[in-house]
Each structure stands twice: as structure tokens, then as C-alpha cells.
Amino acid sequence: MDHSRLSMPLGEAMFTQRSIRRFRPDPVPVADLELILEAAVKAPSGGNSQIARFLVVNDRDLIKEFGAVYRDAWWAKRLDSHGWTGPEDIPEADRAQFGPAMRLADDMATVPCLVFVLSVGSHQPESVLPAAQNLMLAARALGIGSVPTRIHPSVEDRFRAIFGVPQDVTLHFAIPLGYPAGRFGPTTRRPTWETGYLNTWGAPLPWTP
Ligand SMILES: Cc1cc2nc3c(=O)[nH]c(=O)nc-3n(C[C@H](O)[C@H](O)[C@H](O)COP(=O)(O)O)c2cc1C
């Protein structure tokens, strides 16, 4: 596989990769999907078990069908976590945090492309998640935005029915892909000196202020 098109500096890809939830309608070229999946399968897995599977969906009708499932799933999660049943239940103070994800719940039906990250065999998300990150970084290097999303268990059977996914296959992420309507850019993260230690748990890193 010719990976020369993934020539964006790794640092640029990692440091500008933020969640993209609004997409232009342009389709993702099949050649780009191939490269993105090739990057995903390069990720490590326990014992090189390679249990990750990728279901790529670019069929408009299927995406629309899944959009309705995803919307129900998003609100089922909010009901569980906050007791919210609709937009009117979200307090003003929470709108900035939940607004973009809520909008994605409405827009999922029209995203240009979806990749479901799944696995076969034993339930080992740790052997799947590196592949999902590779996938999203490769997409970023091609100018394609993404966001990892998870669905609520209450809609899982509907998901399986739409795409013919057997019960013994585990779903980890639903990742929409497309060219961003907005921009890539910096993210807000805790400083490393708050989340990292040197030699002993709790001991400060040399660059701790
Ligand atoms: C395990 C996991 C689950 C996530 N689930 C969702 C989701 O269901 N819906 C969504 O819009 N974003 C989801 N995200 C994206 C996070 O909200 C996002 O990475 C985080 O808020 C940081 O945003 P940023 O990368 O734009 O800075 C998820 C991310 C992870 C790692």
C-alpha cells in the first residue's frame, strides 16, 4: 500500500485532531477509505490477534436508517445519565457541552460516510481501540474529520438488523467520516503535569510548574 499520501507531519495530525461533528456533503473517496483502513489495520493488538473489524457504510439509505437509531440511542444515554428526554430538558449551563453532540444526533442521518469499529471473538476493546485511533489520525491526515461515538445498548438489536451484524460481533464505535464544515484545530486538555508522574505515582514530572 502506498502510504505517501499520509505525509502530514504526525505532530500536526495529532495536535489538530479534534472531534468533527459537522460535515460537508461531499463523499469520501473510496481510495481514501482504503488508505484509512490500511492505516487502521497497522495498529497493534494483543498477540497480533487482529480482532478488529471495520464496517464501512456509504449507502445513503442505510446511513439514514442508522441516523434514526443513533438519535434514539443518544437520547437514551441522556435519559440514563441526566433524566433528559428532549432538547428542552437540557439546562442552559449544559448547552455548550451537549449542544454539538445533540446536533450530531440529528445530523447522523446525513453524514457522508460511517465506519463501525467492531471486533470478533473475545471481548477485548484494548485490542481494538488503537486501530480506531489510527483510523481517525489517517483520516485527519487526508483532511477528513471524524468523531468516535458509542451507541446505547437499547438500540443494539436495531443496529444489528440494519447491517446484518451477528450477535457474537461486538460494536465499539460508530465513527462518522467526512470533510469538516468547520475547521480542524487545537483541543482543550489537562496539562501533562496534571496527568503524568515520574517514577512513582503522584511524583511530579520535571516540567511541572
Ligand atoms: C469512548 C468515547 C466515546 C465517545 N462518545 C461520543 C458520542 O457518543 N457522541 C459524541 O458526539 N462524541 C463522543 N465522543 C467524543 C468526545 O466527546 C470528544 O473526544 C471529547 O469531548 C473531546 O473533544 P475534542 O476532541 O473535540 O477536544 C466520544 C469519545 C470517546 C473516546
The residue contributing the CA closest to ligand 1 atom 11 is 101
User: Does 95 map to a domain?
Assistant: yes
User: Does 41 map to a domain?
Assistant: yes
The residue contributing the CA closest to ligand 1 atom 9 is 149
CATH code (residue 163): 3.40.109.10
User: Does 143 map to a domain?
Assistant: yes
User: Does 206 map to a domain?
Assistant: no
Q: Which residues have C-beta within 8 Å of that of residue 34, sequence separation ≥ 6?
A: 1
- Segments forming the whole domain that contains residue 88: 10-195
Per-residue pLDDT of the chain (209 residues; tens, 9 = 90+): 889 999 999 999 999 999 999 999 999 999 999 999 999 999 999 999 999 999 999 999 999 999 999 999 999 999 999 999 999 999 999 999 999 999 999 999 999 999 999 999 877 999 999 999 999 999 999 999 999 999 999 999 999 999 999 999 999 999 999 999 999 999 999 999 999 999 999 999 999 99
User: Does 125 map to a domain?
Assistant: yes
Number of domains in the chain: 1
Tell me if 166 sits within 8 A of 160, measured CB to CB.
Answer: yes
User: Does 4 map to a domain?
Assistant: no
Residues 138 and 39: their CA atoms lie apart, in Å, by: 6
What is the distance in A from the centroid of ligand 1 to the CA of 199?
A: 30
Tell which one of 149, 152, 156 to mutate to probe ligand 1, the residue whose CB is within 8 A of the most ligand atoms.
149
User: Does 207 map to a domain?
Assistant: no
> What is the position in ligand 1's atom list of the atom closest to the CA of 101?
11
pTM of model > 0.85: yes
User: Does 187 map to a domain?
Assistant: yes
